[in-house]
Amino acid sequence: MGFRDSCIQALDEKKLFEDSGHKTRFKELMDCYSDYPFFGKGLCKCMYLSAWDEEHFAVMLGILTELALGRERNTEEMRRQGEELAMKHIDGDSCLYQMSNAFLDGKSFRLPEHTQIQPEFVYIIERAQKAAEVIDRIE
């Protein structure tokens, strides 16, 4: 079994997909982009996070399409766009973009002290951290 299938199976076994839409969006991203040279575990974690809802999924899909069309070999451009998006937002969305960049950098993400965001964003971040641990263990 390849990484793509192992990843989907492991996340499913740990019940880390919020609903069928989350799983379907994640699977679509994996099906389309897991064979590109810019794909890695950090990007996989970003895919999980972005598949949470349609809005973030659309942003991720646009960025990945640009990377694929530009024949990129890494995610530097994606990271740059993530920095810009994080600066444009002041709420939980900013934290999600910061988390994505931490994933791309191969680092863990912690909410900065005294950060006040809506409980739903805290929940998403906690779930993404659990998913990141699962993804890191896949060979």
pLDDT of residue 25: 97
Closest CA to 79 of 65, 97, 52: 97
- The three state secondary structure string of 34-98 is CCCCCCCHHHHHHHHHHCCCHHHHHHHHHHHHHHHHCCCCCCHHHHHHHHHHHHHCCCHHHHHHH
Report how far apart, in Å, the C-alpha atoms of 30 and of each of 47, 69, 85 are.
8, 17, 23
pLDDT 10s digits, 65-87: 989 998 888 888 888 888 888 88
pLDDT (average), residues 16-30: 97
| Domain hosting residue 55, numbered range | 3-137
pLDDT of residue 87: 83
Specify the number of domains making up the chain. Answer: 1
pLDDT of residue 116: 84
Please report which confidence band the pLDDT of residue 1 belongs to, taking 50, 70 and 90 as the band edges: confident
Please report which confidence band the pLDDT of residue 88 belongs to, taking 50, 70 and 90 as the band edges: confident
Name the amino acid, one letter, at 59.
V
Which pTM does this prediction carry? Answer: 0.92
- Cα within 13 Å of Cα(99), Cβ side: 28
